[in-house]
Amino acid sequence: MSQSEADTDTGVAAPSSRREKGPLVYRQAVLTRLTHWVWVVCLFFLLLSGLQIFNAHPRLYIGQQSGFEFNNTAFSIHAERREDGSAAGITTVFGQRIDTTGVLGVSGPEDRPQVRGFPAWATIPSYQDLATGRVVHFFFGWVLVGTLLVWFVSSLLNGHFSRDIVPTGRELRSLPRDVADHARLRFHHGRRYSILQKLTYGIVLLVLFPLIILTGLSMSPGINSAWPWLIEIFGGRQTARTIHFGAMVLLVGFFVIHILMVVLAGPINTMRSMITGWYRIDAKRKDPR
């Protein structure tokens, strides 16, 4: 099935149970699958160890330094004592206060609430341990960088990049229709990615991954001395830390939507293609239009 056929297919997709089965096609090269699953492990450990590191100073700023005698705070999580003596977790986003008791600021068992930024279930280790958070974070940081390089080189060589990531002009013009189809949960199963998939994976792999790696490096005093230009791009070390956190939030958002799409588009087929490489595409429409 070619892209042009998928593109002209504007009809309503029948529920998969009634739809005629299409053929299995080899969709994912082994390196695409391998790097995908390494990233799953990496991002899991990077996220949870990152939240551990964040908890050591749960406050984000804009600029070169942290304002202790002036205010450049963009985001903070802290605990306050209520009038009745109980502890409240307060999250502040650009001056907007939100009560997040139970999750952010104050969390844990009702009878023994803990004062901490992110809760124990969201950090590695579960208890406060900045040193181990860093050890885990930097190890998987290296793995992420290495895997991204392997993916980038292999994707350029095996055509994954030009076929599945770089959108064509035609595809870009079909974007509004693809958005509408996704919104109505009408998924087309072709050999190729839809334009929304291409753009999403392109943004994650070519924008968010490099952004989170480079803002991470901008927090390193060693890298600051070796590549002084890098931290200037991001507007200072504390801004870089804030962007690093923001990129994390976007990646978590991507993860949630990604999993939702896997479930909605047929979890068995999508999982099979990500494990074995083989993907069942829609049957060719018989009624010519």
Partner 1 sequence: MSKVIFNRRRFLTLGGAGLVGTTLAGCDAFDSFARPGHPVRDFLIGANEMTMAVQRTLLGSEALAKEFSESEIRQGMRPNGSTDPNNPDYLALRETDFSQYSLEVGGLVDNPGRYSLDALRNMPSRTQITRHDCVEGWSCIAKWTGVPLGLILDEAQPRSNANYVVFHCFDIYSGGLSGGVPYYESIDMVDAYHPQTILAYGMNDAALPVANGAPLRVRVERQLGYKMAKYIQRIELVESFADLHGGKGGYWEDRGYEWYAGI
Ranges within 53-72 binding partner 1 (CB under 8 A): 53-54, 56-57, 59, 61, 64-70
Cα separation, 132 vs 123, in Å, equals 11
Of 134, 191, 258, 272, the one binding partner 1 by CB under 8 A: 134
Q: What angle do CA 78, 93, 237 make, to 5 degrees?
A: 85
Say if residues 80 and 66 touch (Cβ distance below 8 Å): no
| Contact (Cβ atoms closer than 8 angstroms) between residue 90 and residue 80 | yes
259 sits near partner 1 (criterion: CB under 8 A):
no
Identify whether the C-beta of residue 198 lies closer than 8 Å to the C-beta of residue 171.
yes
Options 48, 212, 247, 251; binder of partner 1; rule CB under 8 A: 48
Query: For residue 191, which of 278, 288, 97, 95 has the smallest C-alpha distance?
Result: 278
Q: Is 130 in the site for partner 1 (CB under 8 A)?
A: yes
Sketch the per residue contact string, 202 through 231, with partner 1: x for CB under 8 A, - otherwise.
Answer: -----------------xxxxxxxxxx--x
Nearer to partner 1, 8 or 126 (CB): 126
Q: Which lies closer to partner 1 via its Cβ, residue 139 or residue 152?
A: 139
22, 102, 210, 266: residue in contact with partner 1 (rule CB under 8 A): 102
- What is the binding site for partner 1 (CB under 8 A)? 48, 53-54, 56-57, 59, 61, 64-70, 100-103, 107, 119-127, 129-132, 134-136, 138-139, 141-142, 219-228, 231, 237-238, 241
